[in-house]
Amino acid sequence: MPHLTVAQLADICGGQAKGNTELLITGASALEDASATELSFVGNQKAVRAACSSRAGCLLVPHSFEAHGPWALIRADNPRAAFSRAVGALFPKTRPEPAIHPTANVALTASVASDCFIGAYVSIGEHARIAPGCVIGNGCVIGDRVTVGERTILHANVTVYENVQIGSRVIIHSGAVLAADGFGFTLEGERYEKFPQIGTVEIGDDVEIGANCCIDRAALGATRIGEGAKLDNMVHVAHNCSIGKHVVVAAQTGFSGGVVVGDYAVIGGQAGVGENAKIEPKAIVGGKSGILPSQKIRAGEPVWGIPARPLRQHLNNLANVTKLPEMREELRQLKQELDGLKNRRQLPEE
Which residues are 148's β-sheet partners?
A: 130, 166
The full DSSP string for 220-270 is: SSEEEE-TT-EE-TT-EE-TT-EE-TT-EE-TT-EE-TT-EE-TT-EE-TT
| CA dist., res. 70 & res. 93, Å (int) | 31
Q: What is the DSSP string of 22-45?
A: TPEE-EE--TTT--TTEEEE--SH
The whole-angstrom separation of Cα 165 and Cα 171 is: 14
Q: Three-class SS of residue 142?
A: strand
DSSP 99-138: EE-TT-EE-TT-EE-TT-EE-TT-EE-TT-EE-TT-EE-T
Residue of 132, 129, 126, 133 lying closest to 105 (CA atoms): 126
Tell me which DSSP letter residue 179 carries: S
| Sheet bearing 153-154, strands edge to edge | 99-100, 117-118, 135-136, 153-154, 171-172, 208-209, 230-231, 248-249, 266-267, 284-285, 303-304, 309-310
How would you classify the pairing of strands 222-225 and 208-209? unpaired
**What Rg, from alpha-carbon coordinates, does the chain have?**
28
Choosing from 155, 173, 236, 239, the catalytic residue is 239
63 included as an active-site residue = no
Positions annotated as catalytic residues are: 239
